[in-house]
């Protein structure tokens, strides 16, 4: 199925030169004379690279066979990270390189959104926020209360997070898994 340039919008999944891309931006440009143009920013779903093609108003791109499914994280082994689809109970492996920073806050059993291309797992969106326990942090220095003072803390997944000075070892905190930023103490 082809998608006409007039139907381009952010979030579309398209095929360019045989590989799937996610449309990050689409700008319509009408020069003084001549044909209208569409300036695109596309991210390769397999490699993560970004390209910026320009297409004319009559052009089209092929739609990519990309589907999303709900799943959960099971465990990590030598091949990568193992996920299970909720609907079919099929297990899929994705490499550590493709996971990138999203793996820093994965907890066993975490609900995730799985992205498939031609029935092969190519991407994982972890939960937006996770609750993790602080396994190590330095004690707060007395008297450092005039500004927002932060310190490094190691959490149970092994990731390092900047936390306020009042957070102590053993406390549970909520972290934004997409950015790795401290949000609040968990109750």
Please state the φ and ψ torsions of residue 105, each to the nearest 5 degrees: -125, 30
Burial (CB count within 10 angstroms: exposed 0-12, middle 13-18, buried 19+), residue 116? middle
Tally the domains of the chain: 3
Please give the DSSP secondary-structure letter assigned to residue 31: -
pLDDT given at position 53: 94
pLDDT given at position 69: 93
Asked which of 125, 145, 171 is the last residue of a domain, the reply is 125
pLDDT tens-digit readout, 92-102: 999 888 887 78
pLDDT given at position 146: 61
pLDDT given at position 160: 92
Q: Which residues of the chain have pLDDT under 70?
A: 141-147
Residues 19 and 56 in one domain: yes
Residues 15 and 58 in one domain: yes
pLDDT tens-digit readout, 28-51: 999 888 888 999 999 998 888 999
Domain that holds residue 171: 129-185
Asked which of 125, 157, 174 is the last residue of a domain, the reply is 125
Residue 46 sits in a domain whose CATH number is: 2.30.30.30
pLDDT given at position 144: 57
């Amino acid at each position: 199925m082809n998608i006409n340039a007039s139907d381009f919008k952010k979030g579309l999944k398209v095929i360019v030169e045989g590989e799937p891309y996610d449309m990050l931006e689409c700008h319509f440009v009408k020069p003084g004379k001549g044909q209208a143009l569409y300036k695109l920013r596309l991210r390769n779903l397999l490699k993560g690279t970004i390209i910026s093609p320009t297409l004319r108003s009559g052009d089209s791109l092929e739609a990519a066979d990309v589907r999303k499914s709900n799943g959960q994280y099971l465990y990590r082994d030598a091949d990568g990270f193992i996920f299970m689809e909720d609907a079919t109970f099929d297990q899929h492996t994705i490499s550590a390189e493709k996971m990138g920073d999203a793996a820093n806050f994965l907890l066993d059993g975490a609900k995730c959104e799985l992205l498939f291309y031609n029935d092969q797992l190519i991407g994982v969106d972890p939960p937006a926020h996770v609750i993790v326990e602080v396994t190590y942090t330095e004690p707060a220095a007395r008297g450092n209360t005039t500004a927002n003072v932060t310190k490094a803390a190691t959490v149970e997944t092994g990731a390092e997070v900047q936390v306020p000075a009042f957070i102590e070892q053993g406390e549970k905190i909520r972290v934004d898994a997409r950015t790795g930023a401290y949000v609040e103490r968990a109750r």
